[in-house]
A and B are shown apart, each in its own frame.
Chain A
């Protein structure tokens, strides 16, 4: 028996520069990045902040920013899917990618201990890596599996891919899946600086796939999707926005941080095989594209290895140029770009694009969005430190 088709019926986002799809399209059309100089205790650094005054109403003593962002995005996703607390969500699963857990709360608890020899009683609930998944499950009464995935920068993609796998197994009809991260802390910015991977100074921007690329900026945010079997979506009259047709997961098993183009290529090939698609069927790649010296070369090599001559005909978008790197939520951001490609024919540009690098010779959609492009399938990449890779394929619902 053929496995059930899995479709997206809703999504929600809280990203640097956009809290809704309308705002996201406006941002992408503007061609201007949403990363900014950071203020307060983070002065001297740049990064991607979410601007949503509505978040304050969601904050409680028990919640770190990563859980607040997640709840806001999930609320919008459920509204779009036409779902609320009750029978439709009773047995739903919750699959959350989050690389670091309650990073702000961890930092604050250390400061509290050193400055006042006192730690707040809610600290554990704020810090737990599975706190966002638990808060979603509790808030919406989802009693299916509530699972957290921590694979650094590929966490959200793995969470979504594993959710798809469960839906295809027939053991579940509906899942809330996505990623969240709130890494803008004094400690995290210095940790990434020490790795020589962070763009330096308050005016730094993210410049993927061009010669001037000089590292990433951190961003906070959350993206969540409502995933259902096509049958379950149709049974309640919900509109399928796109199909999640392929998932590949593969580990480099070589190095903690160095990208491995062979492992990345294998991951993309696994996703294509899973979707039953030939490389020539794809029109778009939502790239991992971190703007590091080695990472962009590795991904470009891997795309060329998988797609051969067809690679030159792919549009390759790097969303991190707009928002910064959302780490555990990054795969969710990239998936939105894939969704836009197959559903709207909208190709997200790679902004801050300067001088082409001879080693990077794909079509990275420099600086200006493209509209009205006929794309049926889009590949979405996420490669995590530790060598954990995930590729997803989003397909238009015909």
Chain B
């Protein structure tokens, strides 16, 4: 099976051709946003972090920003720094440039204020527009795809219908040689033993148990109860009674393939097949981690309905709740509710989802893309100092 994609200098394939503006800290985010405002083909990350972060929290922010720059959906990158932030500006740019794509840098304190920085940024970004405008997508094998799977605003239909249907599509992509990522460690709680049976090696199973254990311990360390946040009020209204129930429904979306490895937040997988990434259950932070890990397309199942998109990747929204599809048709791409009414099987809808993945890979815009939704959020793992 072939799809259309953009082959990057490092050999990886994207399905979109974005010019990305990365502010290395919150202090540079306004300049980045102002540049993107004038260049319709460019998109800026709304970075809220990047300074006064320590240890693994600092490294995680760095890994996420670099991962976004390296993502194959990105054709060229403009790095905008303030000049005195904790995230090293030139190092960030150099790491991204190692992937072979064009990277430019503007530093506000060096160039002399925001107006000069914006003028220089506009000049560089507009040059990128002309530079990448002649790139056309070419036929590539579907195994070049990297699919991130997310669920959010879950209700009873998620575990019963949309997640198992996405699991079918995930299995099809893994069988075709592609990459699939499952995330949201919070939503493995109570289901980790089921997932661990599919780990490729005992070490991978051990890693799975560890990330779930650490997630629970973090809550206990803060003397809080996961029940205060999970399930969410919307989950409860939708019939989900506990994190265990939510988790057992969640993991269906990863299908049945063996789990190759457990990745750190934002880590790029080394091979093909199904991977688990250690992210929180919060949708935006979870998707951000998987995109930093190189995912190029996102499937998002929802029960209650959600508008989420991404700055650099198409997000396909699916619900099996017939009311939600009707109420939120502006946001939801695919109606899986025929599974609930008994008109279609999980397998049939799974194949429809796979067709949708192919169509969106070939350039068709999702509803989130057409509405301009561009959420981005880095998962912080320590306080800011």
Whether chains A and B associate is no
